[in-house]
Amino acid sequence: MGDLSRRNFLRGASALGCSLAASPLITPVTLAAAPGENRLVVIILRGAMDGLDVVRPLGDPMLGQYRPRLASRARDESFDLDGFYGMHPALAPLQGLWRDGHLGFAQAVSTPYRDKRSHFDGQDMLEAGTGMDVPISSVRDGWLNRLLQIMPNASSETAFAVGREEMKIVSGPAPVNSWSPDARLDMSPQARLLLDQIYHDDPLFRDTSVEAIEIAESLGVASGDSFGLSKDEMRELIRAQQQAGQAAVLADFAGRRLAEDARIAAFSIGGWDTHRGQERGIRRALDGLSQAILTLKGHLGPHWDRTAIVAVTEFGRTARENGTRGTDHGTAGAMVMAGGAIRGGQVFGKWPGLDEAALYGRRDLMPTGDVRAYPAWLMAGLFGSDAASLQTRVFPGLDLGRDPGLLA
C-alpha cells in the first residue's frame, strides 16, 4: 500500500473518533471564495400540482362550471390574493409571508413539454430544462448543474440535493452534494484504506465513495465505530428512516446546509397526482409544502432576505374536474415562489381565460409563460448569470422575455 495519499491518510485519521468540530484540519473546508451570500432553493413538486386549485382564478366564471364539486366552496374558503385569485386554504400558514411580500405565484406557466402528459417525461424535461426539440432521453444533465457550471467560485459545497429521490435537476459534471437526512457511514480506518484500494480502478465507485465519505464527515455522521445496534438506537434508526421523506424533514436538512456553506438546494415533494379525491390529497401535499417553506425560513434566519425558493411541477391538470372528484394530467399550471429576496404579494403571468376556445386542446389551461423563465430571472438576479448563458447553456432555447421583476 505504497500509494497512500495524504488525503487518504487524513481521512483515515478522522475516523479515529476525533470530533469534527475539534478537527478543523480534516474537515473538507473550501478555501475558494464562496459564491456570494444569495441562496436559491428549488423544490420539485412531483405528480403534477393542480395550479387551478392552488392559485384559484375565482374571478373567472368558468371555474365553477368546470369544477362544480371541487370549486363549490372555493369562494368562501380561499384566502383572497388580489381580488381575482384566491389561495388554497391549506396554504393559510403562509398568509403572513404573502402580506410581507415574501410569497408570490406564477399562473399559466409550463415547460415546453406538450401533449403526451406523462409524469416521467414531464419531470425529465422540467429537470433537464430543455425544449421539445431535443429527445429527452439524450439529455444527461440538469439545469441546476448547468447553472453551477457557469457560476464563478462554485465549489462542491455550493449545491446540495436532499433526500432519497433521484434529482436529475442537479445531475451532471459539476460536483453536487447529495444526502438523505437519515444516512450514516461507520467504518474502521483500515477498512476505508482498503476500500480506496478496491475502488481504485472503478471511477463511478471511486468518485462516489470519496464524496460519500466527505459528506458523512462534514455532517458528523461518520465514525470508525464498530456497528452494533442497541434497542434505542434501532428505534431511533427506524424513526429516522420513516421520516426521511417528509417535506419538513427534507427542508430541515436543506435549511441547515444553506445556513452554512450551501447556496443552492433542491429536493422533491410528492403527492400531487390527484386523479381522485383531490380535496384531501392536495391538502396533504400543500401542508407539506407550507411546512417546508416555513422550516427553511426558520433555519435561514438572517439569510432569509437573500433567499429565493421556487417550487415547480411537471405540468398542470385539466381545467375540468373528472368523474372521480379529481383532475387528470393537463398542460399549464402554477408555480410557487417564496423568500425574503422575492418581490412577492403578487401573482405573475398572463391569465389566458378558461373559455373553451382559450383552453389548450379544449381541455387544459393554456400556457402563457415558460416556467423556465422564472428561475432564469432569479439566477440572473441572485448569481449575476448573464442572459446569453441562461438562454443557451442553462436553458437552451429559452426566450427570457421581459424582466418580470421577481426580486425585491
Partner 1 sequence: MSFRPDIAAIRFGEGLSPDVAPPTSVEAVMAGLRGPDRAAAAFPIPKFDSLRSKMQEVAELRRNYRRGRDGPDAEKLQDIFRKARGEYNRELLKSFAAGLGRSITTQDGFRERLARFWADHFTVVGKDALTRFAVPHYVEEAIRPHVAGRFEDMLVAVVTHPMMLNYLDQTSSIGPNSQFGRGGKRGLNENLARELLELHTVGVGAAYSQTDVRQMAELLTGLSANLKNGFTFRPRIVEPGAETVLGRSFGGGGPNIGDIHAALKFLATHEATAAHIAQKLATHFVADDPDPALVAAMRDRFLATDGDLAEVYRAMLEHPASWASFGAKVKQPIDFMTSTMRALAAPPAVFERYNRRKLTAYLGGPLAAMGQPWLRPGGPDGWPEEAEAWITPQGLAARLQWAMSAPSVVFRGLPDPRTFLDTALGELADERLAFAAKSAETRREGIGLVLASPAFQRR
Kind of pairing between the strands at 103-110 and 369-370: parallel
Q: Is residue 234 within the footprint of partner 1 (CB under 8 A)?
A: yes
Q: Is residue 199 within the footprint of partner 1 (CB under 8 A)?
A: yes
Amino acid (1-letter code) at residue 368: T
Strand order in the sheet with 85-87: 55-57, 85-87, 79-80
Q: Is residue 275 within the footprint of partner 1 (CB under 8 A)?
A: yes
Q: Is residue 119 within the footprint of partner 1 (CB under 8 A)?
A: yes
Which C-beta is closer to partner 1: that of 191 or that of 387?
191
Burial zone of 56 (CB within 10 Å; 0-12 exposed, 13-18 middle, 19+ buried): buried
Q: Is residue 79 within the footprint of partner 1 (CB under 8 A)?
A: no
The one among 10, 32, 191, 387 contacting partner 1 by CB under 8 A: 191
The one among 198, 387, 392, 405 contacting partner 1 by CB under 8 A: 198
Q: Is residue 322 within the footprint of partner 1 (CB under 8 A)?
A: yes
Record the cell numbers describing residue 15, joined without a space.
475516523
Q: Is residue 324 within the footprint of partner 1 (CB under 8 A)?
A: yes
The one among 39, 102, 117, 297 contacting partner 1 by CB under 8 A: 117
Site string for partner 1, 14-53 (x = CB under 8 A): --------------------------------x-------
CA dihedral 27, 165, 285, 249 (to 10 degrees): -20
> Considering the complex, what minimum distance in angstroms separates the CB of residue 379 from partner 1?
24
Q: Enumerate residues 121-150 that contact partner 1 by CB under 8 A.
A: 121
> Considering the complex, what minimum distance in angstroms separates the CB of residue 355 from partner 1?
20
Q: Is residue 205 within the footprint of partner 1 (CB under 8 A)?
A: yes
Distance CA(97)–CA(86), nearest Å, equals: 15
Q: Which long-range contacts (CB under 8 A, 24 or more apart) does 387-395 make?
A: 389/150, 393/146, 393/149, 393/150, 394/129, 394/143, 394/146, 394/147, 394/150, 395/129, 395/130, 395/143
Q: Is residue 184 within the footprint of partner 1 (CB under 8 A)?
A: yes
Q: Is residue 9 within the footprint of partner 1 (CB under 8 A)?
A: no
The one among 5, 19, 138, 226 contacting partner 1 by CB under 8 A: 226
Q: Is residue 287 within the footprint of partner 1 (CB under 8 A)?
A: no
Q: Is residue 4 within the footprint of partner 1 (CB under 8 A)?
A: no
Nearest to 393 by CA among 135, 151, 166, 153: 151
Say if residues 142 and 167 touch (Cβ distance below 8 Å): yes
Which C-beta is closer to partner 1: that of 67 or that of 102?
67
Please state the φ and ψ torsions of residue 87, each to the nearest 5 degrees: -95, 140
Please state the φ and ψ torsions of residue 254, each to the nearest 5 degrees: -60, -40
Q: Is residue 194 within the footprint of partner 1 (CB under 8 A)?
A: yes
- Three-state SS for 365-382 is CCCCEECCHHHHHHHHHH
Say if residues 43 and 308 touch (Cβ distance below 8 Å): no
Give residues in contact with partner 1 (CB under 8 A): 46, 115-121, 164-166, 171, 177-180, 182-188, 190-191, 194-195, 197-202, 204-205, 208-209, 211-212, 215-216, 226-227, 229, 234, 237-238, 241, 244, 270, 275-276, 322-324, 326, 328-329, 361
